[in-house]
Structure 1
Amino acid sequence: MPPAPDAATLQVRAVTAADLAAIAALHSRARAAYHRARFPDAPFDVPAERARWHDAWSRDLERGDTPALCAARHGTVVGAASYRHRPGPRPAVTLHQLHVDPGHWGTGVGRALHGACLRDWHAAGVSRAALDVLWHNHRARAFYTRLGWRPDPDRRPAPDASHLTLTLDLGRAPAPGGR
């Protein structure tokens, strides 16, 4: 049973190097949870996976062009998100990662991280956001659909595709309230 939502105790802030181990662990747990239905015997939450994601998040922080946010409740990191600005004629971003520790699914962590990203994107004048979601991750697809994301009409998935590209038109989406 997830802990009761307590918005007052949830803090969304920039990721620091001190957060990397916690983010890698929750990223691995989240991947294991959403892959378990499709690949029941695959070892997704193991030390090698946590090391892989620690290195990936560390590289993102070092890049300087990949803002990363984390959500902490009572000082414990329970979610993380990162995005990259995309070049082009219209300012756009790709939501690169958004993961919530499975023990905190349904408690508002994902929505808080998403809202913080939206505020940053609106402030930067971004007009369009995109993300790729695993086709079989119905929970994530439903989450993004509730937040206004739609399948990208320019990138229809192939019949054997493992991912679905979703977009969000920020010109039409109202800016969320203050952080």
Structure 2
Amino acid sequence: MIGSPLRIHQAVPADLDAVVALHTEARATYYRGHLPDEAFAGPGELARSRAGWAAAIDAGRVLGARDTAGELLGIAAYGERDGVMTLSQLHVAPARWRGGVGTALHTACVDAWRAAGVSTARLEVFEPNLRARAFYAARGWLPDPDTPRDGDHLVLRLTLAPEAAAE
């Protein structure tokens, strides 16, 4: 478990280096052995990744999770794609797995979606990434009945129940 409380925040441009480093480290854990290193850690991919994160941060679509010491422990990015809210990234520093960081980020995303009136969200998860698949299944994500896969990724959907009305 996390030794100190988390602070979920909107990422800002000054977070870019830490976001890219965390993303690169996390992706290597599940792609290594399944894809050539060049596909997730080569110079071209790193440049593409950095540009993508910079654009997402500038658009206000990235949440970060920091501990009280200020260390970036996790990141999530989401936005509308093809008319559907899409969780495009959710990564936790591997040393912090199973400590509640991913759950806190996921909850923050779902809360933001509900506040925006979103009823359905989607994501793609690398099929061999059993740890991530179990994480999402435990939070109610199910195979997308319309598009169950995209290449080597499974497509999952989450139906958001409306928040209970305050009494």
1:72 is matched with which residue?
Answer: 66
Deviation for aligned residue 1:5: 1.8
1:95 to 2:87 alignment:
yes
1:170 to 2:160 alignment:
yes
2:13 is matched with which residue?
Answer: 17
Any stretches of 5+ residues in structure 1 without a counterpart? none
Alignment of 1:10-159 (within 5 A): 10-39=6-35, 42=37, 44-45=40-41, 49-62=45-58, 64=59, 67-73=61-67, 74-86=69-81, 88=83, 92-157=84-149
Question: Per the alignment, in what secondary structure is the counterpart of residue 9 of structure 1?
Answer: coil
* Identical amino acids, percent of aligned pairs: 44
Q: Structure 2 vs 1, CA of residues 49 and 26 (structure 1 numbering), >3 Å: closer, same or farther? A: farther
CA contact (8 A) 1:29 1:45 kept: no
Deviation for aligned residue 1:78: 1.2
Cα distance in 2, alignment partners of residues 9 and 50 from structure 1 = 31
Q: Structure 2 vs 1, CA of residues 5 and 47 (structure 1 numbering), >3 Å: closer, same or farther? A: farther
Deviation for aligned residue 1:48: 5.9
| Equivalent position amino acid for 1:135 in 2 | E
CA contact (8 A) 1:14 1:68 kept: yes
Any stretches of 5+ residues in structure 2 without a counterpart? none
Q: After the TM superposition, list the runs of 4 or more consecutive aligned residues in structure 1 that deviate by more than 6 angstroms.
A: none
Deviation for aligned residue 1:171: 2.7
| Equivalent position amino acid for 1:69 in 2 | L
Deviation for aligned residue 1:157: 3.0
Cα distance in 2, alignment partners of residues 156 and 32 from structure 1 = 24
| Equivalent position amino acid for 2:56 in 1 | D
Q: Could you list the per-position Cα deviations for residues 89-124 of structure 1 after superposition, in whole angstroms to 9, with x for gaps in the alignment?
A: xxx411111111111111111100000001101111
Q: Structure 2 vs 1, CA of residues 53 and 86 (structure 1 numbering), >3 Å: closer, same or farther? A: closer
Q: Structure 2 vs 1, CA of residues 37 and 87 (structure 1 numbering), >3 Å: closer, same or farther? A: closer
CA contact (8 A) 2:148 2:156 kept: no
Cα distance in 1, alignment partners of residues 93 and 42 from structure 2 = 15
Q: How much is the aligned-residue C-alpha RMSD, in angstroms?
A: 2.2
Cα distance in 2, alignment partners of residues 69 and 98 from structure 1 = 9
Question: Per the alignment, in what secondary structure is the counterpart of residue 82 of structure 1?
Answer: strand
TM-score for both structures, normalised by structure 1: 0.81
Question: Per the alignment, in what secondary structure is the counterpart of residue 50 of structure 2?
Answer: helix
